[in-house]
Amino acid sequence: MRLWNELSYFTCWISHQARLCTPPTRLCTPPTRLCTPPTRLCTPPTRLCTPPTRPGSVLHPPGQALPCTPPTRPGPTLYSTHQARPCSVLHPPGQALLCTPPTRPGPVLHPPGQALLCTPPTRPGPALYSTHQTRLCTPPTRPGPVLHPPGQALLCTPPTRPGSVLHPPGQALLCTPPTRPGPALYSTHQTSPQVFFSTQLLTRFSLSPSFLSQDIRNTVGNIPMEWYQDYPHIGYNLDGKKIFKPIRNKDELDEFLDKMENPDYWRTVHDKTTASDIRLSDEQVDLVHRLQKGQFGDVNFNEYEPSVDFFTNEVMIHPVTNRPQDKRSFIPSLIEKEKVSKLVHAIKMGWIKPRKPKETTPQYYDLWAKEDPNAILGRHKMHVPAPKMRLPGHEESYNPPPEYLLTEEERMAWEQQDAEDRKLPFLPQKHSCLRAVPAFSRFIHERFERCLDLYLCPRQRKMRVNVNPEDLIPKLPKPKDLQPFPTTMSLVYIGHSSLVRSISASPTGQWLVSGSDDCTVRLWEVNTGRCMKTLEVGGAVKSVVWNPNPAVCLVAVESTVLLLNPGLGDRLVVSSTDQLITSYEPPEEDKEQAVTWALSEGPEHDNGHRLTLTHPKAVKQVVWHGKGDYLASVMPDNSSNLQVLIHQVSKRRTQNPFRKNKGLVQCVSFHPLRPYFFVATQRYVRVYNLIKQELTKKLMTNCKWISSMAIHPGGDNLICGSYDCRLAWFDLDLSTKPYKMLRHHKKALRGVAYHKHYPLFASGADDGSVIICHGMVYNDLLQNPLIVPVKVLKGHQITHDLGVLDVTFHPTQPWVFSSGADATIRLFT
């Protein structure tokens, strides 16, 4: 019904505006020429009505029965009102008609009894509504029951609604409702005309008048012929008699002989439906040829006839249809109005813009015609231009000098390196001629990496330092001008058998005392290098110090501190020393002391031992006060507060100055002039005022672990040696931080010392060297001390990773003594 509506709609349009709807050109040639007018069409017993589009259709003279081929293209022809669409055909009485649709055969009733297959044409053609044509049949939309003359077999299937058909009695009639013709229907027709050479079509063609008399038509319909394989007949005639197959007893040989001998063999066709051989006539052969070539079957058919515009552009006075115009054709279309108003609104709102005119400016022009070199934007101040690509060197040449080529090992090394670490991003190669140079495989990569560098790599302006390295070296006074200082090794004091931990020179400068791990203390004459005395002390000697005042020597051994009288030199001095010790009068009330004082007697006294101070723990260091009455001893121990003790020899009294010690005490020292006491823990040096009994200063050494400390005889400067190879010089008036850090040594410093008179200081380290520095301290407070290294003294051998263990200056001469782990003491003058 929908289709119908559309059709009526279109016809309506056609009637109104005939010029709009020009009919499709060649398709709708008027039917008058193609087929005989429909009035005549019905008169002959059977007609073949082919749609004008199909070239292969032939008009047959009346009297021929032909199957109906359904129309093919319903599309564009729909609007042409000229198409002959045979919907059903009137058959003359007494004739059996078979209407087979080419594609979809319906179910067929078969052999016994009569089978008649009738399939309706697939699509109801609009041809029926063409006003030019007389109506052939009932309109397809409403096929009412058709009255047939009695005795006639009629097949009439309405396209859409198969109505009931009245059949004459005794005749089997099958009505199949119309099927929906798929597009396949048309495709088979259109694409391959060869299909028609199947038996079905050929039968059609073969139905020439000559054959009619034999009455050998196919009466079974379009069924597989195997069904009749076992029967001697094929189908039945009108009288219900069997139609027998022609006798056929040809074998292969007969076939072959026939092929060889029969001149008409090539035009003989076997018809399965009748099981007979048919010899094609000349016309038929010609027809086959034409169809094979894709030409029209009819020789006389002119396919290029000028088309006659049926709906001309001239408005004719007579309407094509007599239908009155619809009301809606006078009313303006609401849909159109809506559309137009929408467009107008869109234009008003600026949603629809007119097409932009194409730009006419040239692609390239003189961009810098009006250039202003001063017009540099603000951001260009921070602009860092990208560095240019590196220019290639000799090694990149295709034919480099041979020394630029890599050797086999270098090549291996290059291949094993990461791409980032490689010095050259490519392997230098040598090619004998330009022709042999291959493409560089990483070319695109390199360009891409350059691109990445350009937009991804952070840029920074770096000032390239173009300095002469000589200018960096500081200008110092020449060491020659800073003489005297020790320059050469003069004497070696040999005698100890183990590391010499500590040495000390007598205040007169005549004697030298040394303590070693071989449990002896040796006394040497400085000038000759003779060992004057060897004292057994029963333990490794950690520290020896000569009393600055008289000739009392002090030795710290393991857990005891011994006061020795070396008994060398002037008798008077020796005796006065002994007297000093013996003159002690014990006090009335005996206080309990941290150490026990014991007077030596017997052989020990003869050896020189005078007093023994037994400490509770191992003593590491002892120092004398400048006056020679007080001495301090260090027992490094984290666990107790008893780390530093100060002893007074004349009163044999001991006191613990600190209630609490912060950290491990490394070494202590008395101020040479004032009542200050320096305590060095691992990282700090604390300066205490002994009179006020308070902390006055805390020096930050910036070292990890202080090893040794020395105080300038002026008392305002201090040096600290540390195990992390540094020497810190403090100017106590200046700051609590080092005035200078010297990193001269390669290994841990073990000993530092100031000279009493000369502006010299020395440091000894594990690298076996003693470095003498000129350290001038000026009286002018505004002038900083001058520190100049003047000499590196070497001589000690490194044993067990230990080099120089202690250094000390000669009290009067610019000489320095050093004791080492190689069990020697050396004098540098």
Partner 1 sequence: MGGLQKKKYERGSATNYITRNKARKKLQLSLADFRRLCILKGIYPHEPKHKKKVNKGSTAPRTFYLFKDIRFLLHEPIVRKFREYKVFVRKLRKAYGKAEWTGVERLRDNKPGYKLDHIIKERYPTFIDALRDIDDALSMCFLFSTFARTGKCHVQTITLCRRLTVEWMNYVVTSRSLRKVFLSIKGIYYQAEVLGQLITWLVPYQFAHDHPTDVDYRVMATFTEMYTTLFGFINFRLYQTLNLVYPPKVTQYLDLTSVCKLNLASLARVVATAEEEENQLDLFPTEGEDQENMQAREKEQKEQEAQKRLFEGLKFFLNREVPRESLAFILRCFGAEVSWDKSLCIGGTYEVTDETITHQIVDRPDMDKQYINRYYIQPQWVFDSVNAQMRLPVEDYFLGTTLPPHLSPFVEEKDGDYVPPEKLKLMALQRGEKPVQEDEEEEDEEEEEEDDDEEEDDDVDDEELTEEKNLKKLEGTRAQGKTLAVKVTPGKVKPWETGSVGNKVRLEQEEKAEEKRLAIMMMKKKEKYLYDKIMFGKKRTTREVSSLRCAPAKPTRPSLRPFACRWR
- Residues of this chain, 179-208, that bind partner 1 according to CB under 8 A: none
Tokens 């008169």: give the residue. 43
Of these, 61, 150, 263, 469, which contacts partner 1 (CB under 8 A)?
469
Which of 169, 474, 586, 602 is close enough to bind partner 1 by CB under 8 A? 474
The one among 613, 787, 816, 825 contacting partner 1 by CB under 8 A: 787
**Dihedrals φ, ψ of 126, to 5°?**
-80, 0
CB nearer partner 1, residue 127 or residue 742: 742
463 binds partner 1 (CB under 8 A): no
Which of 253, 335, 375, 691 binds partner 1 (CB under 8 A)? It is 375
- Restricting to residues 790-809, which ones interact with partner 1 according to CB under 8 A? 790-792
CA distance 735 to 730: 7
Write the secondary structure of 10-78 as one string of H (helix), E (strand) and C (coil). HHHHHHHCCCCCCCCCCCCCCHHHHCCCHHHHHCCCCCCCCCCCCCCCCCCCCCCCCCCCCCCCCCHHH
Binding residue for partner 1 (CB under 8 A) from 253, 317, 334, 433?
433
Angle between the N-to-C axes of helices 282-292 and 199-206, in degrees from 0 to 180, rounded to the nearest 10: 140
Contact between 371 and partner 1 per CB under 8 A: yes
316 touches partner 1 (CB under 8 A): no
**Residues 727-786 close enough to bind partner 1 by CB under 8 A:** 742-744
**Binding window for partner 1 (CB under 8 A); candidates: 181-189, 238-246, 473-481, 647-655:** 473-481
Closer Cβ to partner 1, 177 or 401, answer by number: 401
Size of the site for partner 1 (CB under 8 A): 87
* Shorter beta-carbon distance to partner 1: residue 386 or 598: 386
Which residue lies nearer to partner 1 by CB, 330 or 368? 368
Binding mask 583-612 for partner 1 (x = CB under 8 A): ------------------------------
Q: Which two tokens stand for residue 132?
A: 């030019």
| Distance in Å, CB of 742 to partner 1, minimum | 8
Whole-number Å distance between alpha carbons of 687 and 626: 17
Find the largest Cα–Cα distance for the chain.
180
Closer residue to partner 1 (CB): 2 or 388: 388
Among 180, 353, 464, 571, binds partner 1 (CB under 8 A): 353
Q: Between residues 256 and 440, which has the closer beta carbon with respect to partner 1?
A: 440
How much is the CA Rg of the chain, to the nearest whole Å? 67
From 479, 550, 569, 626, residue interacting with partner 1 (rule: CB under 8 A): 479
Q: Which residues, in sequence order, are CB contacts of 588 under 8 Å at separation 6+? A: none
Q: Segment contacting partner 1 (CB under 8 A): 136-144, 150-158, 441-449, 760-768? A: 441-449
| Structure letter (DSSP) for residue 85 | -
User: Residue 684 is which amino acid?
Assistant: Y
Q: Which is nearer to partner 1, 228 or 761 (CB)?
A: 761
Question: Taking the complex as a whole, how short is the minimal distance between the CB of residue 183 and partner 1, in angstroms?
Answer: 21
Half-sphere exposure of 737 (CA within 13 A, CB side): 1
Q: Which of 38, 104, 54 is nearest to 294 (CA)?
A: 54
- What gap in Å lies between CA 270 and CA 822, rounded to an integer? 129
Stretch near partner 1 under the rule CB under 8 A, chosen from 27-35, 462-470, 586-594, 813-821:
462-470
- C-beta of residue 135 within 8 angstroms of C-beta of residue 90: no
- Is residue 351 close enough to count as binding partner 1 by CB under 8 A? no
**Dihedral pair phi/psi, residue 606, rounded to 5°:** -65, -35
Measured between its terminal Cα atoms, the distance across the chain in Å is: 133
Q: Of 91, 212, 241, nearest to 151 (Cα)?
A: 91
Residue 720's nearest CA partner among 688, 779, 761, 760 is 761
H/E stretch holding 806: strand 804-809
Minimum Å gap between C-beta 398 and partner 1 is 5
Tell the smallest beta-carbon distance from residue 25 to partner 1 (Å): 25
Stretch that binds partner 1, among 14-22, 254-262, 460-468, 720-728 (CB under 8 A): 460-468
Binder among 230, 252, 336, 366 for partner 1 (CB under 8 A): 366
Q: Smallest Cα–Cα separation from 555: which of 573, 576, 538?
A: 538
Determine, following the binding rule CB under 8 A, whether residue 317 of this chain makes contact with partner 1.
no
Considering Cα of 221, then 226, then 230, then 232, what sign does the dihedral take?
Answer: positive
Site for partner 1 in 409-428 (CB under 8 A): 426, 428
Minimum Å gap between C-beta 451 and partner 1 is 5
Q: Are 611 and 562 in contact (CB under 8 A)?
A: yes
Lay out the site mask for partner 1 across 684-723 (x = CB under 8 A, - = otherwise).
----------------------------------------
Using CB under 8 A, pick the residue from 315, 334, 335, 391 that binds partner 1.
391
Choice between 355 and 660, CB closer to partner 1: 355
d(CA 289, CA 280): 12
Cα dihedral 196, 201, 205, 209 in deg (nearest 10): 180
* Site for partner 1 contains 673 (CB under 8 A): no
Nearer to partner 1, 240 or 385 (CB): 385
- Of 161, 447, 704, 757, the one binding partner 1 by CB under 8 A: 447
